[in-house]
Amino acid sequence: MILPAAFAPLKARFDAHFAEGLELGARFTVVKDGAVVFDAWDGFADRGRTRPFDDGTLTPVFSTTKALAAIMVARLVDQGRLAWDQPVAEVWPEFAQAGKGGVTVEQTLSHQAGLPGFLDKMDPADWFDWDLICARLAAMAPLWPPGSASGYHAVTFGYLAGEIFRRVDGRTLGRALAEDLASPLGLDLFIGLPDAEFGRVADLERPKQLPDFGAVTDPKRAAFLTPWAAPGGRGGDVWRKAEIPSANGHCTAKSLALLMGALATDGALGDRTVLSPAAIAALSAERIAGQDLVLPFVISWGGGVMRNAAFAPYGPEPSSFGHSGWGGSCAFADPVRGVAMAYVMNKQSAQLIGDDRAVRLIETAYACL
């Protein structure tokens, strides 16, 4: 652990969550100017409370995975192989079906494409057939006019971003993350978990109630409120191995914070450039802001990342950006202060964004800096 005296109030807040029964196992990491300045973990990695949650524990981070996917697509733009304003159909011709020929990469990654899920009944196991899901998305008519509003693409985001990436690069997004960033930099960031890592994964304690989405609409139903809205029916091992860049990342808080820390500074991490400063600015630039059609929030979206401008789960700086995941995880970068933070846990809450535990830790961390 890294627990400097200046962060004693943060450690006390972190410990209080366990004393109050709010955590099973958790980790919170703060990076400043590229260096880890606070890193704490505690609790248990299993529901039976026999396995300690430790430095090597991997946690499912659900939609915090989207930040990783957004970074990988932004790297293609940074390399001149893709453009944010490029029609998706230029790299994925089948996507032009049903009037989507003009839908751009930035509209797709900022949840404006109108493809938040499938209203027609399907087998939840279909999500494990990548080509099948991508073919359905390519053929699908948008549920609203693309570009007119955002509507959170809870699971479909991963297939859209991942297929755009695959069409340009030739590799799957998860494989490229491993080969280009995670493995060479020694980061515990996985989209598609190798069998050898299964023993490090924390068990989840699910929330006792469902999130409140407000009045039910077709976009909300497609994204979250059908029996087939999320992958299922194949067991935990198949879920871990699959590459679903919207939902099934397995990470440590330290690795998430270090990666986001690169985006809070000049884009470099170790001997690698994650993104150039210009690419970081483009990734985090606002693509659309307003009432989301799926999530019950006013959201400012960048190129696949949540911006802190509309509401502020990521501290006091409006230009901070990152992503949150179902149950409470989050990771973000603050380029003004050169700060990044990440929170992971295995006792999930029903809050969609801005989990109270994470917000308290982030607020306390800023007070300590």
Prediction pTM value: 0.97
Per-residue model confidence as pLDDT tens digits over 159-187 = 999 999 999 999 999 999 999 999 999 99
Report the mean per-residue pLDDT for the chain: 97
> What local confidence, expressed as pLDDT, does residue 269 receive?
97
pLDDT band, residue 275 (cuts 50/70/90): very high
How many C-beta atoms surround the C-beta of residue 218 within 10 A? 15
CA distance linking residue 199 with residue 61, whole number of Å? 17
Per-residue model confidence as pLDDT tens digits over 193-224 = 999 999 999 999 999 888 888 899 999 999 99
Nearest one of 158, 177, 168 to 304, comparing CA atoms: 158
* Contacts (Cβ under 8 Å, ≥6 apart) of 191: 65, 68, 69, 173, 174, 177, 243, 244, 245, 248, 249
Look at the block and give the residue holding tokens 């409006």: 318
Residue 235: left (phi > 0), alpha (psi -120 to 50), or beta? left
**Contact predicate 306/101, CB 8 Å:** no
The gap between the terminal CA atoms of the chain, to the nearest Å, is: 18
**Tokens linked to 335:** 């380029």
> What local confidence, expressed as pLDDT, does residue 208 receive?
85
What type of residue sits at position 140?
Answer: M
**Angle of the 277-284 helix axis to the 253-263 helix axis, nearest 10:** 110
Q: Which domains does the chain have, with CATH numbers?
A: 5-368 (3.40.710.10)
> What local confidence, expressed as pLDDT, does residue 210 receive?
80
H-run or E-run covering 254: helix 253-263
